[in-house]
Structure 1
Amino acid sequence: MQFYYGEKMPLRILDEAEFWKQQESEHTVVIRELVKNLEPRYVEALNEWESALTNTHQRVVRWIETVIRSPHRISPQLQHRVMELVRFCLHQSEQFIELCRIIRERSQAFKGNMTAQVVMNHIIRESEYFIGIAQTILYECRK
């Protein structure tokens, strides 16, 4: 991630969040499709997560529209609200990773599927990548 966006940095931050929330939402589908005999409790949890991640994605899109339409400089209040949303996205990704780890470790259907294990490790790494981006953004904005 580049930090040369200057005044429009909140827009760049939101672009990252938009991309990764969509990815995580799609990952819930990938997991369900890859492990056809996944236990119902995990299928239900993934369905709920798909909905939550989609809602967050839509929320991020609305904030992108707000930033785009902001005249001239982005106000400190708007910057603060964007950072709150980034914090929320970061924590949501941490919780999503936790669910992925639980499924990977506890699901009998999952344990017998080597492809699913490799894909799940990839999904976890991608969400961890977003967390790293979000943490960097939050740290840089505190300076």
Structure 2
Amino acid sequence: AATKFNSFNLAIGAGASATAVKLTDVKIDYVDVATVPITEYSAGVTSVEAASLPTEFGLAQNYPNPFNPSTTISYDVAKTAHVTIRVYDVLGRAVAQLVDAMQKPSNYTVQWNPGNLSSGTYLYRIDARYEDGSGTFSAVKKLMYMK
């Protein structure tokens, strides 16, 4: 037989406090299965912190380094910006573009797998142009690919 709910009462934020939670009178097929009171927390919730957003732009050292077959590059975007991350060989030639997008403030990671490129030292560079036109950010790091 299918389960039927006769009643289900749920109150969140009832009363003077936004932290009050009460769950009562759960009945299935007219049989009282459970009454579970959860009373108001006396201390309440003082704050709920969002994931920590970066306060400044940053480019971290890739990991692992040296690497084979791929590596992870982490970076922070502090304000909405058009972000590019490119990888260059030691002669300054771009060999890969990993990011080319408008990005909101957050912590990001991107993977790089150089495929059939030669083992050796490469540079990766982040360039960010703030959406509001107030400035730019650039940074360069070195990485080592070993086949």
More strand by share: 2
TM-score, normalised relative to structure 2: 0.25
Who wins on radius of gyration, i.e. which is larger?
2
Of structures 1 and 2, the one scoring higher in RCO (CA 8 A, sep 6+) is: 1
TM-score, normalised relative to structure 1: 0.25
